[in-house]
Amino acid sequence: MKFAIRCSLLIVLAPTLTPAQISSFKHIIIVFQENRTPDNLFQGLCVAPYGKSTSCSTTPSSTQYDIQTTNWMDKTSPGSTMAPSSTPLAGVFDLGHRHSSFTNSCDKVNGVCKMDNFASSTCTGTCPSKPALKYVDNSTGILNPYLSLATQYGWANYMFQTNQGPSFPAHQYIFGGTSAPSASDDAIATFDADNVQPEVSATGAGCIAISGATVALIAANGKKSTMFPCFEHETMSDLLDGIGVSWKYYTPGSNSIWTAPNAISHICQPNAPTGGKCVGPEWTSNVIIKATQVLTDISNCKLPQVVWSIPRGQDSDHAVGNQGGGPSWVASIVNAIGNNKTCSNGENYWQNTAIIITWDDWGGWYDHEPPTFLAGDQGDYQLGFRVPMIVVSAYTNAGYIDNTRQDFGSILRFVENNFGIEQGALDFSDARSTSNLSQFFHLNQTPRKFTTISAPLDATYFINDPTPAADPDDD
């Protein structure tokens, strides 16, 4: 299927005061982790050695992290606030993070989330009291790779997931800019709001889901409906194909809700109406069913120009199922780029690659920052809760903190702008977003020397780990 591509004539990522070192990035890597908020995962930014007593504030200056360390809202308790307690990264309970969970925790009044009802979140597993009001324990240093990346490069105080729900629609947004079944549905604000049902691994997802599988649609008028989870609209990959920019989507499984291309009909081209396999040429060439191959492709100088990197469940940060490998996994990708040998063509990845690290949804965890809702009908499902975002490149200043309000559309606009595609060309979240991340990059500066991010596990571990790859999440 052919789509029209709108291209701009000039690529400008930052004001140029002196001749630029590079005019644009040759490679962009989007690392998409699972289910966390800044308040839950990044309390370590507020304490030594990564932070000082003044490094965090809920009304931050341009040099402070917006992390709330106490007085978390809890309307179920007298006084309405409480001090949070810690929980391990690899936990024993899971929180609800469907669209209904967003609505419950948001507690919207007069168009604004009160952010005070996380304490009543649903929970499965061995659940403590008020499980959502927890932050990740870093007494063992397990989060240090994340904290090092956040403080050595760029941090976004106000990055929000675009959707108000879980992984399946979130991955559709980061890949294609919408969870709507079609462009016409997106235009009238009809979106997939939740994961594929029934929610079991055997169901599959997207155009290769089994017969009877459905996703729930939410319309601007409040009307709800269901449909088979196979969509048809333009994606970022189509824009890249149109100008000859290579891309790959690295993922641990072909038929999971975290593998966004399987839900796009013209990419998947299923060999059966239901329960089949994706066999389309774009799928066969560009969807890599091995998450760790991104590391070997880097080391072998075979890095595509645009990468979506989806972790194995062991390394995803999802509360149940992860084994604490997430921070090391992300560090291994950054270190692979930073320490990569000069390729035979003379290319040095560190000097021409931008790495965007973010999380697909809030996972049910507490966060104090209410999202901004989009204007009109679009605001009924956009935006969702805040998620962390770290920006890494040789042209990103150490310790940079950005207070621009971002969402997944900002990342798509960055990709578009970098490769000379008109920003908003998809007409989805990229058109509705107002930022393109340009403030994180100073391409006129001499590239920074890379310093290896210390982590317990390295690329060799992930490449050689014989453990079968688990899904990034279990719901």
DSSP state of 134: E
Domain range for 31 is 27-36+141-464
Contacts of residue 64, defined as CB under 8 A and 6 or more positions apart, other chains included, come to 54, 55, 56, 57, 401
> Which pLDDT belongs to residue 79?
77
What H or E segment, with its residue span, contains residue 136?
Answer: strand 134-136
Q: 155 pairs with which residues across the strands?
A: 390, 401
Position 1 in a domain? no
Position 63 in a domain? no
- What's the pTM value of the predicted model, to 2 decimals? 0.95
Phi and psi based region of residue 364 (left: phi greater than 0; alpha: psi -120 to 50; beta: remaining): left
Position 125 in a domain? no
3-state secondary structure 354-414: EEEEEECCCCCCCCCCCCCCCCHHHHHCCCCCECCEEEECCCCCCCEEEEEEECHHHHHHH
Position 18 in a domain? no
Tally the domains of the chain: 1
Position 149 in a domain? yes
> Which pLDDT belongs to residue 204?
86
> Which pLDDT belongs to residue 267?
98
Strands 306-309 and 81-82 come out as unpaired
> Which pLDDT belongs to residue 13?
54
How far is 436 from 27, CA to CA, in rounded Å? 16
Residues in the chain: 475
Position 56 in a domain? no
Q: Quick check: 326 and 58 in contact, CB under 8 A?
A: no
Q: Quick check: 295 and 333 in contact, CB under 8 A?
A: yes
> Which pLDDT belongs to residue 4?
58
Residue 291 belongs to a domain with what CATH number? 3.40.720.10
Contacts of residue 29, defined as CB under 8 A and 6 or more positions apart, other chains included, come to 294, 307, 309, 333, 337, 353, 354, 355, 356
Q: Give the three-state DSSP class for 424.
A: coil
Position 422 in a domain? yes
How far is 180 from 263, CA to CA, in rounded Å? 11
Cβ burial 352-369 (10 Å sphere, 16+ → b, else e): bbbbbbbbbbbbbbbbbb
Per-residue pLDDT of the chain (475 residues; tens, 9 = 90+): 556 566 554 444 544 445 668 999 999 999 999 999 999 999 999 998 998 778 999 999 999 999 999 999 999 887 788 899 999 999 999 999 999 999 999 999 999 999 999 999 999 999 999 999 999 999 999 999 999 999 999 999 999 999 999 999 999 999 999 999 999 999 999 999 999 998 777 788 999 999 999 999 999 988 899 999 999 999 999 999 999 999 999 999 999 999 999 999 999 999 999 999 999 999 999 999 999 999 999 999 999 999 999 999 999 999 988 899 999 999 999 999 999 989 999 999 999 999 999 999 999 999 999 999 999 999 999 999 999 999 999 999 999 999 999 999 999 999 999 999 999 999 999 999 999 999 999 999 999 999 999 999 999 999 999 998 877 766 6
Position 131 in a domain? no
Q: Which two tokens stand for residue 352?
A: 């021409």
